[in-house]
Amino acid sequence: MILEDFDRELVLHRLSEPVEDDELRHALDRLRKNFYEAWKVLKEYREDNSRLEDWQRAEKPSLAWRKALFLEEWVSVLAVALYG
C-alpha cells in the first residue's frame, strides 16, 4: 500500500493537537508500550512541532537527524494504523 502525502500530513496535524479521539490515543499508547524510543520522539514533536524543521535540516548523522527519520517512519506507521 502506498501512503498518500495527505495521510502523513493529516497524522502530523492530529499529533500537533491535544489527543481527543480514542483511536489516536490507543495507537499512541500501543506505540509507547512497544516502541518506546519512537514514542519519545513523537512526544517531543507534540510538545513543540516547530522542531521538525530543525531536525530535517540537521547534519547527518546526528541525534536531530535521527529524530527526523524516526518521525517520518512512525508517522507512516500511524497513518496505516489510523487510515490504512
CB-based contact 35:51 (threshold 8 Å)? no
35-47 residue pLDDT tens: 999 889 988 988 8
Quote the mean pLDDT of the chain: 85
- Domain-by-domain residue ranges, the chain? 5-83
Report pLDDT digits (tens) over 4-29. Answer: 677 778 888 888 888 777 888 888 89
**Global pTM value:** 0.77
Q: Residue 63: which pLDDT band, with cuts at 50, 70 and 90?
A: very high
Q: Which of 19, 22, 27 is nearest to 76 (CA)?
A: 27
How far apart, in whole angstroms, are the C-alpha atoms of residue 28 and residue 34? Answer: 10
Q: Which of 44, 45, 39 is nearest to 12 (CA)?
A: 45
Predicted local distance difference test score (pLDDT) of residue 1? 46
Alpha carbons 61 and 5: distance in angstroms, whole number: 25
Lowest mean pLDDT among 40-44, 63-67, 76-80: 76-80
Percent of the chain with pLDDT over 70: 94
